[in-house]
Chain A
Amino acid sequence: MRIFVFTSGAAAKKLFSKVKGKAGAVEFMAPGALKTFLNDMPCDAIAYIDLSSLKPAEIPKTLKLLYSLENLCWGVLDPKGAVKDPAEIFHRGGADYAGKELAKAPLNPARIEAAAKFRNIEKPAEAKTKPLPSYLPSGRDWREVREGKEYTFCMMFIELDNQAAFRKNASDKQINTVTHTFHDFVQKAVAAMNGRVWMWMDFCGLVLIPFDGERCEAVLACLRMMMNRVIISVEDCDLGTLLSYRIVLHVGNTVYRVRGDTGSIISDSINSIFHLGQKYARPGQFVLTENVEPFIPSGVRDLFKGEGVFEGRMIYRLAFPK
């Protein structure tokens, strides 16, 4: 495990004097480098921030930055007792807190390991053998994806609502225009997150987005698509009607084959997302499965309400505050 300590004082260095060899590698960095570092922080690392190295005015700002982190492991060194409510550190995603008393003697390596485990960060050797249960991350883009091999993708199901009304009131040519326009919009919208329309059937489609096991940008992209429905209807699709669509997000495994050659694929995840989209989700809803839930950015987490279990998975639905 790599331990990064952001401090400008010698006292903090003594705190980690017992951490050697297998217990982990400690690197000391200047507090000013924290924000930049966090952008590329390794997922198997833990970062400690020495609050006594910061000016009093910088402490709330730094804590706010730490609270906003997704899936990163961090702890706080507080030898001066600047934090009034240490429990809040843990409530808002922190893994460790070393206060006035604890910071007097070097930290026990077992404690740091326990802190990392508390936030599900494991030693690299362990991380390699079991990254995430049964996940085969496909990466951040398509470079490593090979046809015929199984990978974990973020899967997005999207379907236009009101199909019956469309079929009843529109000519074949008009339906064709609607489905083509909607398909082209989806293709353009998902391209920004490396997504590819993988299957398409008239009014609905399945998009594959490479998944690296660390983040799922599709959550925010889909949230925007739901918020901007009016703008999309007028500017992107311009079909003279307010579009209503449902979206389902899921992270799961499938064998990858090129579009058009997917008929023989048997995948629980694909079955599941189609069932969710066509049997569970209602018009205009955005739902996601428990596999995606850990990747919802904390700032919008409260917008997703647990809705119960469907086909063995907990389902969350987007609900804007009234």
Chain B
Amino acid sequence: MRIKGSLINTAVRSLAQSMNTTTMVSLVKRLLRNYDLNERTGFPPSIPIPNIDAARQIVNDLNENELFPQFINLLVEISTAGWMGKKYDIAYIRDLVKELVEHGFIYDSTNKLFVEDPAVRRTRNWGVLREGQECIFTFLRFDIVGNTELVRNYPKEVIDATYSDFGDIVKRSINKRNGRVWSWEGDGGLIAFYFSNKNQMATLCAMEILHDLFLYNRLSCRLDSPLKTRIAVHSGNCDYTSVEEDIKKLDPVKKILDYESNHTAPNSVTVSGVVHATLDGIVAQQFTPLGGAAKGKLFSYSLEGACA
């Protein structure tokens, strides 16, 4: 997102007072690889660019490219750890952080990144991921069991209301854990987690959805038989994309679709070995390894097994 107002001016002053134009350009090239300050400002290479003009141009360009939070990350990083062996005392750094928080960002200490505050706004890229950026995501894939039969056997308004209730259960659980809906097909969907302890968050989210669905079926389900779901959780490396068609082609997404549709029993959660290995022991113990072709690769959880 683009930032407006005094935060931009504070950033310009901070940059201008903290480093020379050569350092500024080196810094900005970490975010915009082919950045050419002379071309952007119109100053010929033979004329030195005043610090304040250089800083203003750089801050504005970063903001235009929706890289402002990442730029503040860099300033925080070099103010604490230095850069290329040199210490930098970044002016107004506390003010910048404070104002960024006021603009609806929070600091994710695991990834050392400013990300959007979920209490303020929720976008599918958490306000900071760039198209094509390589990231490790944890995915949660869910699907309503027997959708075709349900649609055939019940009036549309009953199905719409039931799926909407189920959607509320899913959203309530993912919103608590900063997950993002990447695709929603009515009877199924894909949720992405990127920040903090993402494998654990996605797994707990899946378990909670199963628990809430158990109570929903008993207390307010409109169908004659309980609504059932299959949920899978898997983590993997891929490039961020906002294009739904491209999401389906991502390797971890293809895998999670396979885990969910071919290895997950109704009303259970399946997690991949990659995810299971990183879970807190208390959570990992709730899962039992699957046999057959999935032996050692997949682990399963069901409410019946947990509460029996």
Contact = CB atoms under 8 A, between A and B. Distances in A.
Interface of A: 57, 61, 64, 68, 220, 223-224, 226-228, 230-231, 233-235, 241-242, 297, 299-300, 320-322
B84 interface: no
14 contacts: A61-B158, A226-B307, A227-B211, A227-B215, A227-B307, A230-B207, A230-B283, A231-B208, A234-B204, A297-B219, A299-B218, A299-B219, A320-B307, A322-B304
B214 A321 contact: no
Contacts of A234: 200, 204, 280, 282-283
Contacts of B155: 57
Nearest to B176: A235
B219 A228 contact: no
A300 B214 CA distance: 10
Contacts of A320: 303-304, 307-308
Contacts of A233: 282
Given A233-B282, A234-B204, A234-B282, A227 B304 contact: no
Given A228-B211, A234-B200, A234-B204, A241 B282 contact: yes
Nearest to B217: A299
Interface of B: 155, 158, 200, 204, 207-208, 211, 214-215, 218-220, 222, 280, 282-283, 285-286, 303-304, 306-308
The listed residue with most B CB atoms (<10 A of its CB), out of A64, A297, A299, is A299
Contacts of B211: 224, 227-228
A19 to B, nearest CB: 33
Contacts of B307: 226-227, 320
A317 to B, nearest CB: 13
A230 B220 CA distance: 25
A62 to B, nearest CB: 11
B215 A220 contact: yes
Give the 5 A-B CB pairs with smallest separation, nearest first.
Answer: A320-B307, A299-B218, A299-B219, A322-B308, A242-B282
Contacts of A322: 304, 308
Contacts of A300: 215, 218-219
The listed residue with most B CB atoms (<10 A of its CB), out of A68, A230, A233, A299, is A230
B220 A68 contact: yes
A275 to B, nearest CB: 27
A241 B283 CA distance: 10
The listed residue with most B CB atoms (<10 A of its CB), out of A57, A234, A242, A321, is A234
A320 B215 CA distance: 12
Contacts of B285: 242
A62 B285 CA distance: 44
Given A223-B215, A224-B215, A321-B304, A61 B222 contact: yes
Contacts of B204: 230-231, 234-235
Contact of B208 (A68, A226, A228): A228
Contacts of A57: 155
Nearest to A321: B304
A253 to B, nearest CB: 29
The listed residue with most A CB atoms (<10 A of its CB), out of B214, B286, B307, B308, is B307
A19 B94 CA distance: 75
B281 to A, nearest CB: 9
B71 to A, nearest CB: 33
A64 B222 contact: yes
A299 B218 CA distance: 5
Nearest to A301: B218
B286 A227 contact: no
B100 to A, nearest CB: 27
The listed residue with most A CB atoms (<10 A of its CB), out of B155, B214, B280, B306, is B280
Nearest to A322: B308
Contacts of B283: 230, 234
Nearest to A318: B307
Contacts of B308: 320, 322
A189 to B, nearest CB: 14
B80 to A, nearest CB: 27
Nearest to B157: A61
B138 to A, nearest CB: 16
B188 to A, nearest CB: 23
Given A230-B306, A235-B204, 18 more contacts: A220-B215, A226-B307, A227-B211, A227-B214, A227-B303, A228-B208, A228-B211, A230-B204, A230-B282, A230-B283, A231-B204, A231-B207, A233-B282, A234-B204, A234-B282, A300-B218, A320-B304, A322-B304
Contacts of B200: 234
Contacts of B214: 227
Nearest to B216: A299
A93 to B, nearest CB: 14
A241 B214 CA distance: 25
A38 B69 CA distance: 50
Nearest to A228: B211
A231 B211 CA distance: 11
A299 B308 CA distance: 19
B140 to A, nearest CB: 15
A170 B42 CA distance: 69
Contacts of B207: 230-231
Nearest to A297: B219
